[in-house]
Structure 1
Amino acid sequence: MTYTDFSASLTQHTAPEGLSPLLRALWHAGRDEWETAHDIAQQHEGDPLFDWLHALLHRQEGDTSNAAYWYRRAGRPVFVGSSRAEWEALTRTQLPS
């Protein structure tokens, strides 16, 4: 699956089959299904990519201090740009163009 295919799937009612847990969480985050994405991120705490996702999710909800904590856990600087641009950047780490 490419990034373009993945993005297009956000209009569907269910996530595509066979997604990794990170891509499944990103799919829900991309649909503004915050709680589902957050639940998945919490199940994988300690994995730097999930910790980055966790930071993004708290940033989306406006909790910048909690987001800063998760950026530190992920070993990443606070993202500069929109949360949508950050979602795309993280998603692109998992999918080819």
Structure 2
Amino acid sequence: MNLSKFKASIQEGLMPEDLTVYLHSLWLDGRGDWDKAHALIDQMEDVDAAFLHAYLHRKEGDLGNASYWYNRAGKTKPNISLAEEWEQMVLYFLEKSAK
């Protein structure tokens, strides 16, 4: 799968069956369901979940909480739009899931 197909699946409302939990969360977020996207990764402890958690809290507007999660992920808050960060995260997790 590539970014275009991922975005098309969001537009069609047809979630691909083979998504990782991270891509599932980003897919839900892309559909506007922040709560479900957050619920999927809320209790996960790994670095990738922390990174995704940070993005979701940044999107929510809770920048203090987002900073905490970026820190846990070993990353700094990016100086890009939320849409750009979302796309970069999708690309990262697509590449990771292809390995």
Q: Which residue of 2 aligns with 1:95?
A: 94
The answer for unaligned runs of 5 or more in structure 1 is none
The amino acid that maps onto 2:71 is R
Residue 81 (str. 1) matches residue 80 (str. 2): yes
Measure the CA separation in 1 of the matches of 2:14 and 2:35.
16
Mapping for residues 1-97 of structure 1, pairs under 5 Å: 1-44=1-44, 46-95=45-94
Residues 11-62 of structure 1, C-alpha deviations (whole Å, 9 max, x = no match): 1234111111111001011122100000011132x21111111011111111
Pairs aligned (count): 95
The alignment partner of 1:17 has SS state of coil
- 1-structure distance, mates of 2:79, 2:31: 21
User: In 2, distance between residues paired with 1:40 and 1:14?
Assistant: 18
Q: Indicate the SS of the match to 1:18.
A: coil
What TM-score, normalized to structure 1? 0.91
Consecutive unaligned residues of structure 2, counting only runs of 5 or more, are none
Whose helix proportion is higher, 1 or 2?
2
Residue type matched to 1:49 in 2? D
TM-score by length of 2: 0.89
Q: Which amino acid aligns with 1:32?
A: G
For residues 35 and 90 of structure 1, the distance between their equivalents in structure 2, rounded to whole angstroms, comes to 18
> Which letter does structure 1 place at the counterpart of 2:73?
A
- Cα RMSD between the aligned structures? 1.2
Rounded to whole Å, the distance in 2 between the matches of 1:21 and 1:43 is: 12
